[in-house]
Amino acid sequence: MKRRSFVGKTLIGGFAALVAPKVLSANENKSFSKIHTPPKGPVSICTWSFTAANAAAAKALESGSDALTAAIKAAEVEELNAQNTTVGLGGAPDREGTVTLDASVMDHTGNCGSVVAVENIVHVAALARDVMEKTPHVMLAGKGAESYAKTLGYKHTDLLTTESKKEWEEWAKESQYKPIINIENHDTIGTLCLDKNGNIGGACSTSGLSYKMKGRVGDSPIIGSGLFVDNTIGGAVATGMGEEVVKTVGSFLIVELMRQGHSPQEACDEAIQRIVEKQGDTIDFQVAYIALDKQGRVGSSCIHKGFTYMHYENGENQNFEVKKYIHS
């Protein structure tokens, strides 16, 4: 899959949200200003340049949906996008040629749900919510999660597309695995929303690392690593090399730093620095975070340049390139 286009124009319901004709730098984003003007309405942010996904969240928020419902709407757009080889339908398979999906959700009450290593189900973010709301559990895995989905009426879908299968077959000729910085073998969609009632919710959805070992689980379905929300403070989501996020419980760390008085930007920077300090000078993987607090302030940081995120606020749906990175 080619690196995503960072420009476009999105129509949200009855009003137009223009994506900027260039990728803006984060320091052009007023949410990074020391003098912060609270948003006049809801806010939605998501990892990478998932323009249509963030627009779907914005449309839901402007229509009065709660934050979690809006975040799941964003995930569903990419889960159905067969051209995205890192989420949902068309996701890259594991080493044995099987596509497995992970997802997590968390709402403003502190409830959470997740699913791990799910086959044959496209909308795993919605399934994670069903686990949260309809079972006594937080996490369901593998065949158990798939079986539960089918009892709820989820459609059985072969997730391995012709294109993804061809790419896997080509990879299998040598079977060499090496993560490539900012290439779509680990681009989770993580979304955080602030709704009209001032509540925050979030969702993550991914097919995980391309050609991972069978049974591998990254950070995305792990509450506190790939996603964490505390409605009194804010929320954070991660993307990139999940193993490194898990080692530092990254999203929980960011929210706790915000609880201590750090801004979302400061908290994201510190979380990235924790990873870098453990790795030394040579870091051949990417990790990135975005965060949103109750005042609508946004933060973002990453190890290497190239990470972008979407930000909807006051009718504008824009893509920002993160300038806070450790390695060039």
Find out whether 139 and 117 touch, Cβ atoms under 8 Å. no
**Could you read off the pLDDT of 84-124 as tens digits, one per residue?**
999 999 999 999 999 999 999 999 999 999 999 999 999 99
159, pLDDT greater than 90: yes
Q: What does the alpha-carbon distance between residue 83 and residue 290 come to, in Å, rounded to a whole number?
A: 24
Residue 19 binned pLDDT confidence (cut-offs 50, 70, 90): very low
Residue 185 binned pLDDT confidence (cut-offs 50, 70, 90): very low
Q: Which residues are catalytic?
A: 188
What is this structure's pTM? Answer: 0.89
153, pLDDT greater than 90: yes
Residue 327: the pLDDT is: 61
Residue 7: the pLDDT is: 32
Mean pLDDT, range 202-209, rounded to an integer: 96
Residue 26: the pLDDT is: 61
Provide CATH code, domain 9-327.
3.60.20.30
Q: What does the alpha-carbon distance between residue 156 and residue 219 come to, in Å, rounded to a whole number?
A: 25
Tokens 């929303």 correspond to 193
Taking phi over 0 as left and psi of -120 to 50 as alpha, with beta for the rest, 115 belongs to beta
Residue 40 binned pLDDT confidence (cut-offs 50, 70, 90): confident
Q: Where are the domains of the chain?
A: 9-327
Q: Which tokens belong to 169?
A: 């077959």
Find out whether 20 and 273 touch, Cβ atoms under 8 Å. no
